[in-house]
Structure 1
């Protein structure tokens, strides 16, 4: 399948495996959408990222939603060479978002056979799938699977889809999965980026469909409108809630100047709630102002920060690093996914830094925390982080269905795999600043020697 990338106004991710694909790094746990027609891209909610979205939701409980067709006030269609991107939750995690990249497929008028659809899905996995070391994939077993499957005819499209499902399930990767044509279309229909809400469909016993709230951004438009996420409990009465898409991104940065316990030093405290389009600029402003106010130490609070735009995380990490220091590695089966991202300028501040983390510090937050830690720019304080560091791509097949495939992962500057492991803090409790200075000094000596 030949695909070509659509350019985007948002940050991009490492290239996709096909020789003509041109992927770019976006956000944590990337989900890249391949093979979407230009018409689909223009009509999707993803294309309405910068516009206004008003929709009605009938709540049968805070944990599930009966959805009525949304009314989308879309902005003018983007130029043919551009597209907008969005983020969404993976169905297997309530903590972290996946991000999407749209790629246009050059599809021919030919009628694809059932066998051809299965083979197409097989080839995508063969070219792109990254085994993270916990799965059952090997090139030899995957080749034998193709030979076994395609020795007999596949009479129906439904049978072909079932074969693809079983084929992907055999990989043992919870993120690599099949999308029916309906599910593929709903990825756009239920994309709620911009209102701080992530949803997934839940089928009821009577055949109806409700939407479950997978995650909420604290103080986002949906949360402010009264949408809530409940993991347990009975459903309550039906409610109708209208949520207006946030037209202008809200600053995710809160900062203040504090005094150390002994009163001998000023500490610049910065809380970062998410990695959106304003994160890098607003954090840089906060750092400069705190420094002008006399801050000689800094605290970066990433607790409960589930991530967001990976590129924003990368740019924030660069604010603290020296030119040439490694921010993060991306690793993939294809050589184009094997990248080293480094800082390209002098650090904005050189004072000692404490980064506060917990078990809900995830994705882009883990990139920042590990980057500052491994380059001896900060100590980590709190709990082990969540451990979300995979990159997925979504490929559209020629019949409108799709496959989500894990294609890469993030590795820290000290070559530690983030995914499934998280990052262990240096201290459980807040240390004295003298201990922080000593820790960072010893770290630098070990790196140099």
Structure 2
């Protein structure tokens, strides 16, 4: 079989992808005032959260230092108990609540304001994050006692400048011996705008009401973001998006509803606090992400077979949405087989990777299993819907296929939905969370790890492909059929 893919040679599956011979059939526009959002992302509401607001959770790429996303599935760093308590309290009797005007006034009085922070305070804030969340996956020599002593030694002398405070944090994190735990300057942190999955500057959290129901609360709110300007407040309950009731929907589903082209509007219905009031807010989106998806239809076997080729460069806020568009368009053009190219895809949003994998999996199939310091953080993530396509699939990988890309590759491979072609993958099975500090800088901290559906720890070892070079489609179908038979038995 000769498939016209962007290899340096027609049948080389191990080389890095070159520039495609054909332009993508569509490109989603992305117009955005980057300088404005740079200012937005330099500040974050801290409020009642302990230490710092965890904006994002990623399987950060092994090279990029600024890949991030809020992840409702894998968040291993819960807010403080006081905030958790306020989020979990939904029901209140009329006598417990003031009237609507008083409630609204109370919320206005509680608006979060930027806080001045000392150099020592910034260092201690970073220390607290590590103390509460860091998972030592390498030396296994980290202990709370040694970490406490390091803090005492550092703060024994005054820190006279902010640059010195940042240098202290860098050295403090370097002492952990974890290559992925690191400091982000304010400029580096501000570059994360393309990973804002909502486009309006909020993070959502699914919270149980104790009676088996789940409601959505605003966990994080970026100062001066579109949502903040429109009047959304930290702790608000999300009731509807563009008139659609979101009861029972996951945070990812609602985040997807919030998405749209930059400069367009979304109407968000929210309830302020536990007592109201309920308001409908019109919010203008600001999107910095560009589509990571390109695609085309290839004819093989003398034009008898149509193959949909999709290249996915990274997992940003648009990855899943644009992938769905591409696959549907290719299906409409008659594609009966698919190739998804993940070579040189270093990862990005873990949430986007998980949701991408679900597009191909059967309901109940396992995507990944995660573990962290907190036993409560051990989660099995499974697919909850029917697959978008059931056609035979090839996933292209190489030694720069990493992190979220490896989640997708392993989930599809282990569930007999795809064969892997190319080189052994990079091998990064660790989870990082990205936190903003109160001066606009940030820290990336390793907080967990994951294993594949076949319970393989790929960290440092990667995933071995099924084929080095492109197989015939009959061979692909035979391989997947045998895999399914073995899985059922």
* TM-score above 0.5: yes
Contact 1:96/1:307 (<8 A) preserved = no
Deviation at 1:321? 0.5
Between Structure 1 and Structure 2, which shows a larger proportion of strand residues? Answer: 1
Query: Does 1:352 find its partner at 2:392?
Result: yes
Q: Does 1:302 align with 2:342?
A: yes
Query: 1:155 aligned to 130, 154, 157, which one?
Result: 157
Matched, 1:137 2:141: yes
Give the conservation status (yes or no) of the 8 Å contact 1:352–1:437: yes
Indicate conservation of the 8 Å contact 1:119/1:146, yes or no: no
What residue number does 1:202 align with?
Answer: none
Whether contact under 8 Å (2:54, 2:435) holds in the other structure is no
Match of 1:172 in 2: 177
Kept in 1, the 8 Å contact 2:189–2:441? The answer is no
Q: Which moved more, 1:315-324 or 1:272-281?
A: 272-281
Structure number with higher relative contact order (C-alpha < 8 Å, ≥ 6 residues apart): 2
Deviation at 1:410, TM superposition (A): 3.1
Please state if 1:94 is matched with 2:63: yes
1:405 corresponds to 2:445: yes
SS at match of 1:331: strand
1:119 CA drift (Å): 6.8
Counterpart residue number, 2:355? 315
Gaps of 5+ in 1: 1-49, 56-69, 195-245
Q: Distance in 2 between matches of 1:119 and 1:261?
A: 64
Q: Which position in structure 2 is the counterpart of 1:41?
A: none
- 1:52 alignment partner, SS class: coil
Residue 125 (1) aligns with residue 130 (2): yes
For 1:52 and 1:335, the matched residues in 2 are separated by 41
Over the aligned positions, Cα root-mean-square deviation in angstroms equals 4.7
CA 1:429/1:162 → structure 2, altered by over 3 Å: closer, same or farther? closer
Offset of 1:95 from its aligned partner? Answer: 4.8
1:270 and 1:301 in contact (8 A); partners too: yes
Taking structure 1 as reference, are residues 161 and 351 closer, same or farther at Cα in structure 2, changes over 3 Å only?
Answer: closer
Deviations 1:183-233 (A, max 9, x none): 3x4444555648xxxxxxxxxxxxxxxxxxxxxxxxxxxxxxxxxxxxxxx
Q: 1:113 to 1:380 in 2, by over 3 A?
A: closer
Q: Deviations for 1:291-318, whole angstroms, at most 9, x for unmatched residues? A: 3443332211222223333222222211
Partner of 2:466: 426
Offset at 1:351? 1.8
Q: Do the aligned residues in 2 keep the contact of 1:87 with 1:193 (CA within 8 Å)?
A: no
Q: Is the 2:38–2:191 contact (alpha carbons within 8 Å) kept by the matching residues of 1?
A: no
DSSP-derived class of the 1:414 partner:
coil
Q: Do residues 146 (structure 1) and 148 (structure 2) align? A: yes
Alignment partners' CA distance in 1, 2:393 and 2:443 = 42
The Cα offsets for residues 135-174 of structure 1, whole Å up to 9 and x where unpaired, read as 24243xx424535764898132369887765554332112
Paired positions, count: 326
- Aligned to 2:309, the other structure's residue is in SS state strand
Deviation at 1:428, TM superposition (A): 0.6
Residues 432 and 343 of structure 1, relative CA distance in 2, 3 Å threshold: same
Residue by residue over 1:370-419, the C-alpha shift from the partner in whole angstroms, topping out at 9 and shown as x without a partner, is 11011010000011222334332345678987654211233221222343
Which of these residues, 354, 368, 373, is aligned with residue 333 of structure 1? Answer: 373
User: 2-side partners of 1:128 and 1:328: how far apart?
Assistant: 20
Question: Secondary structure at the residue paired with 1:370?
Answer: helix
Which ranges of structure 2 fall in alignment gaps of 5 or more residues? 1-29, 48-52, 72-77, 84-111, 196-285
Q: Is the Cα–Cα contact under 8 Å of residues 313 and 342 in structure 2 kept in the other structure?
A: yes
Deviations 1:9-30 (Å, cap 9, x if unpaired)?
Answer: xxxxxxxxxxxxxxxxxxxxxx
Q: Do the aligned partners of 2:433 and 2:447 also contact (CA within 8 Å) in 1?
A: yes
Correspondence 1:343 to 2:383 = yes
- Secondary structure in 2 matching 1:346: coil
Distance 2:128 2:39 in 1: 39
Q: 1:334 to 1:286 in 2, by over 3 A?
A: same
Q: 1:128–1:420: structure 2 CA closer, same or farther, 3 Å change rule?
A: same
- Give the match for residue 53 of structure 1: 33
**TM-score of the two chains, using structure 1 as the length reference:** 0.58
Q: Distance in 2 between matches of 1:78 and 1:146?
A: 27
SS in 2 for 1:157: coil
State whether structure 2 residue 392 is matched by structure 1 residue 390.
no
Secondary structure, aligned partner of 1:425: coil
Name the residue aligned to 1:275: 315
**CA–CA separation in structure 2 for the residues paired with 1:54 and 1:113:** 29
Give the CA deviation at 1:333. 1.2
